[in-house]
Amino acid sequence: MKLRLLRCLRPQPSKQAAIGQKESELQAVHDHHLLKDMSKSPFRDTPVKILLLGTAESGKTTIIKQMRILHINGFTDNERREKIPEIYQNIHDSILQLVGQMGVLGIDFGSCTSERSADYILSLPGLAPEWPMNEEYCDHVMALWNDVGIRACYNRSNEFPLLDSAKYFLDNFERISNVDYIPSTEDILHSRKITTGISQISFRVSIPKSMGGGEQEFRMYDVGGQRDQRNKWIQVFEGIQAVLFLISCSEFDQNLREDPTQNRLQEALKLFRAVWQNRFLASAGLIVFLNKYDIMERKIRAGKHIVDYFPEYEDFCKRPQQDNCFDESDWTKLFIKQKLVDITQEPFKRHSRNQVDMGTSERECYYHFTVATDTGCIRDVFCDVQKMILSENVAGTSLL
C-alpha cells in the first residue's frame, strides 16, 4: 500500500503560512472526501502494523508498556508482582555498578561506614536478592545512596553504563524494599529488561466520528535494539505501515555498552540513516520520537554541553534565533532534530541490496519530542500519530 501523509493534519508552520485561503478550502473539501471514503476502505479489516526501531535503551519497550496502559487495561496485581524480580535486579545492578566505578574514577567514599557497605555489596553475587529483601542489604543500599562519594560517581555516570532509571529506583528504595511492595505503574514504566526476541502488542482504538467512526486494530512490534539483534529486524518488515523510530536525546555524552569507543548518539544517527534508506521500509511512513528529553534537560542543568561531543553545535547556534529556542535545552533539541532532518535530505547512491534505489526521497518524516515514561505525553503524541497513520491509509487507498 502506498502511503502518503496528509499535510492537513500536521501542517508545518512555514508551509501553513504559504497556503492561501482558497487552497485551504480546497484542501478541506478534499480531506472531507477522503475521510468520508474511509469507512468504505478495506484497511479497517486489516490491522495497522507499526514497527518500533531504535538503538538499545532508546525507549521501545516503554512505548509498548504505554500502549498496554492506554489501550488495554494496564497491569493486574499479579502481573505487577511478577515485575518485582526485574525491579530488584535493576536496583542491584545500579548499586553494584556505582560501587564498582568508585575506584575506577578515583572517587573516595564519604565515610568508613559507607566503605564497609561497599565491601558488603561487592561480596554479593550479581543476581539480586530474592523477595523479601533482607534488612541488612536494605540498610547498606540506603547508606550508599546517601553517600556523597556515590553521588559524585552518579554525576559522572555518562562515563560508564548505568541504567537511566537508577536514580528513580534508588530514590524510591525505601518504598520498594517494603515487604508489602506492589510495583506501581510508574515503577513498571521505569523498569528495564533487555528485549531479545520480537514481541508484539495488538489493541483496538476508537476512531473519532470526524474520521468516520468505528474501530481500528493496531499491531505494534518491538525488537531488540542491540547490534547483535538487528539481523532479526528484517523478519518483521513485510507489510509494515509505519516505523516509529526512537532516538534518545539524552545520550549525546554516552558511549555504547556494546562498543565503549562509540558515541551513542552517533550510533543512533547511523542507524536512522540505515532505516531511512532501507528499501524494505521505503513505503512505510516514518515517525521519529526524540525521546528522553527529561534526562537531556536534567543533564544540561547539571552542566553538560552537547558541544563537547558535537563541536558543530557551536556554528548551529549562530543561526538566527529560532522562535521557540529560549535556552540551551531548546537549542540542543533542535540541533539533534536538525541532524535527523539533514539525513533525510542527503542524496544517496545505492551501496547495498538493502538500500532504496533513488536520489532524494519525497517521503516525509514526522518528529515528536517525547518522554516515554510519561503516560500523558505518550497519550497526546500517539493520538497525533494515530490520526496521521489513519489519514495515510485513507490517502493510500484512494490512490489504489
- Distance between CA 280 and CA 357 in Å, rounded? 11
Per CB under 6 A, does 291 bind ligand GDP?
yes
Tell me: is residue 332 an annotated ligand-binding position.
Answer: no
End-to-end CA distance of the chain: 8
18-77 binders of ligand GDP (CB under 6 A): 54, 56-62
Which of 344/375 has CB closer to ligand GDP? 375
Per CB under 5 A, does 61 bind Mg ion?
yes
> What grid cell was written down for 359?
536520489
Kindly write out the interface string for residues 293-322 of this chain, putting x where it contacts ligand GDP by CB under 6 A and - elsewhere: -xx---------------------------
Q: Are 329 and 300 in contact (CB under 8 A)?
A: yes
Which of 246/385 has CB closer to Mg ion? 246
DSSP 133: P
Tell me: is residue 62 an annotated ligand-binding position.
Answer: yes
DSSP, collapsed to helix, strand or coil, labels residue 262 as coil
Tell me: is residue 228 an annotated ligand-binding position.
Answer: no
- Distance between CA 35 and CA 27 in Å, rounded? 12
Q: Is 93 labeled as catalytic in the residue annotation?
A: no
Per CB under 5 A, does 373 bind Mg ion?
no
Residue 400's alpha-carbon distances to 41, 217, 363, 394, 395, in angstroms, are 11, 21, 18, 10, 9
Q: Are 375 and 381 in contact (CB under 8 A)?
A: no
What minimum distance in Å lies between the beta carbon of 160 and Mg ion?
21
What minimum distance in Å lies between the beta carbon of 101 and Mg ion?
24
**Burial (CB count within 10 angstroms: exposed 0-12, middle 13-18, buried 19+), residue 301:** exposed
User: Which of the residues 192, 219, 264, 363 is marked catalytic?
Assistant: 192
327-356 binders of Mg ion (CB under 5 A): none
Tell me: is residue 61 an annotated ligand-binding position.
Answer: yes
Place of cell 528484517: 234
Tell me: is residue 60 an annotated ligand-binding position.
Answer: yes
Count of C-beta atoms within a 10 Å radius of residue 96 = 17
Q: Is 226 labeled as catalytic in the residue annotation?
A: yes
Contact residues toward ligand GDP (CB under 6 A) are 54, 56-62, 163-165, 189-190, 192, 195, 225, 291-292, 294-295, 371-373
Site residues for Mg ion per CB under 5 A:
60-61, 195
What residue numbers does the annotated binding site for Mg(2+) cover? 61, 195
Which of the residues are catalytic?
Answer: 57, 62, 192, 222, 226
Binding-site annotation: residue ranges for GTP? 57-62, 164-165, 189-195, 222-226, 291-294, 372
